[in-house]
Structure 1
Amino acid sequence: MTILRILRGPFAAFTARHRGNTGRGRGLAVKTINVKKQFVKKNFLTFFCAFVLPTLLLGAVMVWLSWREASEDIGRRMENSLNLVEDHLDGLTGESKGVNVYIESSSLTSGLSRMMNSRDIQYPEMISIRHFSAFINSVVNSDSAADSIYIYLPNSINRVYTSAMNFVFLDSLTDREWVEMLVDGEKEQWITKRNKNDYSFEKPREVITVFCKFHNFAGGSAVNYSAADISRIYDSMMFYENQSVIITDDSGRILMHNAALQEAEAAALNDRINAGANSGSFIMTADYPEYGLHIITSVPKGTLYSIAMQNARVTILITLMIAVVTIILAYGLSLKSYRQLNQVVTLFDYADKKQPLPQVEYNNRDMYSQILHNIIRIFIENNYLQVQLSERKYRLQTAQLQALQYQINPHFLYNTLQTINYEILSLTAGRQTQANSMVENLSDIMRFSLESGDSMVSLKEEIENCRKYIRIQQARYDNGFQVVWDVEDMLLSNMVLRLILQPIVENSIVHGVKSRESGGKIKITVRSRGSGMEIRVCDNGGGIGKERLQRIRENFHSQEVEYTADHIGLQNCCHRLVLAYSEESELHIRSKMGMGTLVYFSIPL
């Protein structure tokens, strides 16, 4: 239809002119140029209306949307800043509460009181001081903003405890006002800002002190934090360069603010907010009622304007680029279409004159369709591979995160257990008790499971470790079950996976004999079978239902571990056996309700 309209219009006149003015080449050229201009103009207007105008409208909509999004984004980010500050305050106050809970919930109270009232400290009390000082120093060192911790109990010789110098006389301290503030304080806990210097020649520095009185006796603790460090921390919580945050108490006094905000600026901002004359900024507040604090964050409205104008400039630039590209594209396509249509007219002219048709260039579109199809196929395949790679990377990161979350420092845990054991011995005058045995067994088990080295151990070592675990569980359940061992002596030197037996026995206890009030029995059998060794753990517990048993067996063959599922120990054991040996060594489980459960596996010798 387009060709017919063109042929009826300028191109028809062009054809007539061409026929009726043979030999008048100049007039023909002028007519051709006029038709060409009209065609280019028409196509340009078509492309302009089809692309440039919608782009302009879309740009206007995008500017409006960006304005609204910027407004909402400022609100969200300001709220996030308030949440971050509240979380930081929770950390500060939580450390102070933790110190008081540690002192009040242990036997340290009487010891601290004796040490503060006595000028001489005995050896047992020195041991307690070391443990207590280690805890206090761990609190100070765990927080980069923590400055020091003070503890005061009323005593006859005016003694206090500090994290820097342990037990000292109050008169020897340069910073002494905190005791009077703690004693005279009307609240159980509060936060204040004050000046502190450790030595008389030092310039006083601002600290934030969290006071917390003891609940069951007189005295309390004071945890000091560097105000400058807290200000820098709050700077990192701001989402905008000119965003500010201040924290005030009930009286309107500024306690803390971010480092980018000067003292005078903070005071001026607080005055404007209290007077309700801060119309040039976005204000968002939150209360911290437990300590009577108010958190205020402010962002100048110019930030919104700058963001919106930046988005508008980007949108206008993109629109102009699209307009330029559209002009170039429209002009190029118009010339191409003109040449194609001119070729059609020429062919009609040759056909009308019954002359041989000239040779016409031919473009094989099927070839380009195949190329396009191949490109799309390759793109889809590459995209699918990228998705798979991203998914595997995500699973690996998740597994690494879960592994990090379950890591425990073995030396710290082992030393802690040894310390607990010594404390029990000191309380029982050196007499061995069941608590000592349980702690020693648990210490040996943790050392066995966390020590580095080969993952393979002898069957004898694995059984000994399992026996210690069983002794702990028998003490826990008041010998409510019996364990029978049936092991061939010749197999004790064979190597097995570390901690391959204990999870199975644990499963029999937790999901088996634990449900019986009495008469629980677990039998562990280790026998040679063919060229391998078979290990069987059988209990007379309540058994497992068919549906649940089927689900456990399906988890054995699943590649993903459900960390929240029951019997996760069995699933892990099964995966370890298959990875270490082969699928022939996978775990097998049989069970019947009311009769018990049997778990067994075989490994090559």
Structure 2
Amino acid sequence: MKKKFFIKNLITFIIPIIIPVIVLGTLSITLLTIYNSKSISNNTINSLEKTKQSADIIFQESDGILLNFTHSIKIATATKNILNTDSYSLYDIQSLGLIKNLLYSTTTAKQYIHSIYVYMSQPDKSNPRVLTTTVDLVVLNQMVDTDWYDTYRTELVDKSLYSESRPMMSYAFETEPVQVLTIYRKLNTTYAPNENGVVVLNLNQDYVDHLLTNQSAYKEQKVLILNGSREVISKSDNVTDEDIQYFENNEINDDAQEEVKINGEDYLLYHAKSANKNWTYVTLSPKSLAYKWSYPLYVIVILVILISFFIALILTYLITKRNYNHLLNIVDMLEYAGSKKKLPPIKDANNEYEFITQNIIKTFLEQQYLKSELATRKYKLKAMELLALQSQMNPHFLFNTLETIKWKTIQLTGSSNQASKMLEHLSDILSYTLEYTDDMTTLDEEIKYTKDYLSIMRIRYPDKFFVTWDYDETYKDLPIIKLLLQPLIENSIYHGIKEKEGISEIKIKIKVRQDCIVVHLYDNGLGMTEEKLAHIRHMMRNKHPLQSKHVGLINTCKRIQLAYNDQATIYIYSELGEGTLISMKLPVQKKI
């Protein structure tokens, strides 16, 4: 009781204290999360714009180199002559020096440029030559790095621009390749548009990746650059293989912002196109960032809730202790009144508790004796009714069983095997019925002695019926009223199966559902007419076993209702020519 009062008072104090804290805390966290989401979105857009600007500068560098070879007739002509002739004039040597200075100054001034290749079509040469910033003028088949040429032949057939990330080795003595970001610019001069070539700009991959990492607004943010084939050509340091695989397998929507799920985590994806539309800049911001920054506020709200709960706990304890002492005074007086002892003096008089105590005691003294007497009489009456019904059933059962044994003994005068079995089963049943005065037994015992009775009846009526059991051994120790099944089976045999031709079936199904034992007893015997069924149901409602041929069924109905205080139900269903079903629902009681 003290625990119940404590919990009730605790709830009374907690609701007005903690509910406002939870509401205000939740509102604050929600507003902060919305603000953080907007801030992340704005910072991500700014970071994306900076990345775009930085990368576009690199594109402009390749455009500048390309313009020197496409719009300058002098440089383009000199380059073509140098690559196509084997002997050089003084003018060619001077032009070569000028072109080399142009390329070397570019690579020296821009630390992110690893090397530059210039190639023009040379239809008269089986081994064309390439102008490079690594080994000057070199024959193609003598270059260590020739992968770029294969890419040029395959990817720039119908394109003017292509980019890729690839490993590269410039010299034969190098042991480890260098990762570079290569930009291919198709070379068509203004004076000879049908003559093809390519300017290859190799960028230091680490420099570009580091540039993207520094452009990230947050350390959790990921930045990538995709080429026109959706291949990742540059990425920040925190980009994983799963991220790269996602972009290789999925297209980006036209919307500048979308939500995506990568490797089980939700991201906000922002993207923008480069100035020449060949590159796509992408940023991935985890949605969890908005909640991460709200975490300190979560902690504060939880601490406030805990402190409020602690204060409510102390107040509840003090108030509960005071009220409980008042209630103990009332309980003590009730106990004294029940034991007919002298009542103790009332404590804390002249208040509402004194008035309640006096009225409770007065009512208690007036009703206690009457209730006790009424309960005793009800108990004796119930016991007498149960005993009378039990005594009424036993002679009826013994008569039918002995009659069966008598007829079977006449048939087996030459042998006593079957008769001995019947007597053995009968002895067990009589012991089960008469030796124990308690009207309750276990489900396992009831089934066992029911099977003994069925063994006797199968000897009496061979090839007349068979029995199907359906029950769970788990519930074998549940208490149940004694002799529950036998009278009902006896009723099925004598009134439904005995006079029917052929073999019949008796099916007994016992289940436990929602704290109730559900018993279904079905036979496919003769069944009964609607008038007879209505008569039996009337007998069951009015409990008149002496006025019916179905003594076992009516007595069982009466015993069930007496044993379970009307908490149990029993119904009978039957159809002529189809059979009869008896359904019972009994409350599960404490185990014996």
Q: TM-score range by the shorter chain?
A: 0.3 to 0.5
TM-score, normalised to structure 1's length?
0.40
Structure with max Cα Rg: 2
TM-score, normalised to structure 2's length?
0.41
